[in-house]
Structures are given as C-alpha cells and as structure tokens.
Structure 1
C-alpha cells in the first residue's frame, strides 16, 4: 500500500473529515484543499511581515510551516479524494517534524515543535539547521 493510499484510508474512515470535505465540495470552488494551513488575512499582523498573494492552493500549501503539514486533500468531481503533498507523506505518516523554511522563521518552527511535542511525545523532531 502506498503512503497516499494509507492516508486516504485513514481519511475515508473519519466521518468528521468526510463531512467537511463534502461541505467544501458543495461550494464548487475552483481550487481548494482541506489541510492544516494558515489564514493569510492576519499573517502580517501576527508575524510582522507580509506575504504575497498565492496563485493557487498548491502554491500556498508549498509554504506551510512543516513538511508534515504541507498536505492538502480535496474531493474531485468523480467523488474520489485527491492528495497534494509537495514533500511527500513520509514525514506525516512517520511522525517526523521537519521545517519547511519557505515562510517561517526558526522561532516560529521552535514554538510549534515545543507545543506539538507536549501533545505527541513520540514525534521525531529534525533540528532547524539540519
């Protein structure tokens, strides 16, 4: 079984995720994904610097703070789920936290790591400088 198939199997069993995907799909948006992404409206105020507008959902996902969270899923017209994972799924399914330095700073990364390790103590954390 591929990593994508593993993730899809997990998602297909989760009724909450399925409900959200169905609602999002019903909006007929041209380019969307469900993921662990951010909200750009407050980015500059929160982080002290602006980000340029993205041309697509995929482009935005490529900048999310860690490789494990740079993953999105959406429902296609045929009803099948599509996974977008620029960095693959190994880190997500392997509980590995690795910085995606496209937008974040070392401090933002470390704050996330400190918070997440309390919730998931078995995470394998890759240091910022690796």
Structure 2
C-alpha cells in the first residue's frame, strides 16, 4: 500500500485519532480554530477543504495549506439578515487575518441565496451540521470545532474513510453533479493521487435521505 493511504480502511476511531493529529500539526488550521473559538459564535464549525486538504497535504508531504483557497467557517444564527451576517464576517476577518482567508457563512441564510447561485432550491436548515450533510461530495462533508478544554469535536456524517482513501464520492442529497465534477477537476490537478467516483449516469439526480 502506498504510504499516503496508510489510514485507509482503518477503524473509525483510528481515523479520528489520525485526523486530530494531522489537525494539531497544522499551524494555520490550529490558529483559526483557536481564534474562532474565542469569538464564541453559535453552532460553529470549520468545515470541508481546510480539513481534508490538510490531511492530503500531510499524507503526501506537501506544505501546510497547499491548495487551500479559503477556510470555510459555518455558524448558525436565526437572524437571517444580511447585516447580521456581515457583522460576523467582519469580526472573523479582524480576529483571523492572514492567508488563506476565512470565509464565513451563516447556515440559517443559505436557502435565501443558494438557488440564485447554483440553479436549484435548497432547504432551510435547522443547524450547521445539516449544511455539512449536503455538500456535493461526501468526502468533503467534515467539520471540526475546538472546545474550551482544547478537545477537538468532529462531525463527519459519511465517515472519514473517503478522505484517507483519497476518493471523491458524490453526494446525491441534492442535484449537485456540476459542483461535484468541477471541484473534483480542480482537486485532482492539485492532488493527482485522488480517485474520482462519477455521478451515477442512470440519473442526473437521485434524492438520498438525510437523517
């Protein structure tokens, strides 16, 4: 087995421990986690690329934050006004300067703008985890939060094996085929070790239940 796949197929507990060690070894990711924790935002998570890209970089010997365009921060505030979200965006930008930048989004607002950007409707969410559930690629569906006692809390509704297997797997919860394919094309150019699982050809969209 190639060295970068050394955690593929391991027990979930072992993969969680490996991801925690990888996270602690990333200066930028830990800086962001600590700074956002101090802001005490409601229902917050650092999600997606900053996590799985960090894993791929460390497992393949690439530099920290290689290929990371931005660090996605989810939080959930029932105040769905643009002004309220904008205030949080500015707070985060002041608290966590540097590159890659932190991109902050209130998950309570996503349904208000999603169709305009992506061409199909998006359900109103009840919490930030429901946003993670609906990423176009199951491999990308991962979130981390740093607790007051420095413990990392992980949310990975589809597990971590796809991350450690360097495998991009579509999520059929929403009709996000174009997003899945576009993100995969960019990521495979940066991490050629990745395997790509295509969207099912027999249907453009198949609703999967999300518990």
1:117 alignment partner, one of 165, 169, 188: 188
SS at match of 1:68: helix
Q: Deviations over 1:75-114 (max 9, x none)?
A: 1232201111000000011111001121242222222222
SS at match of 2:125: coil
Q: By how many angstroms is 1:34 displaced?
A: 0.1
Give 5+ residue unaligned stretches, structure 1.
Answer: none
- Counterparts of 1:1-130 in structure 2 under 5 Å? 2-36=14-48, 39=105, 40=110, 42-129=113-200
Matched-pair contact (CA < 8 Å) for 2:46–2:144: yes
Q: By how many angstroms is 1:42 displaced?
A: 4.3
Partners of 1:27 and 1:104 in 2: how far apart? 34
Give 5+ residue unaligned stretches, structure 2.
Answer: 1-12, 49-71, 75-104, 202-211
Q: Which runs of 4+ in 1 moved over 6 A?
A: none
Q: Which moved more, 1:66-75 or 1:28-37?
A: 28-37
Q: Number of paired residues?
A: 130
Matched-pair contact (CA < 8 Å) for 1:117–1:123: yes
Question: Which of these two proteins has the greater Rg computed from alpha carbons?
Answer: 2
Instruction: With the length of structure 2 as denominator, give the TM-score of the two structures.
Output: 0.57
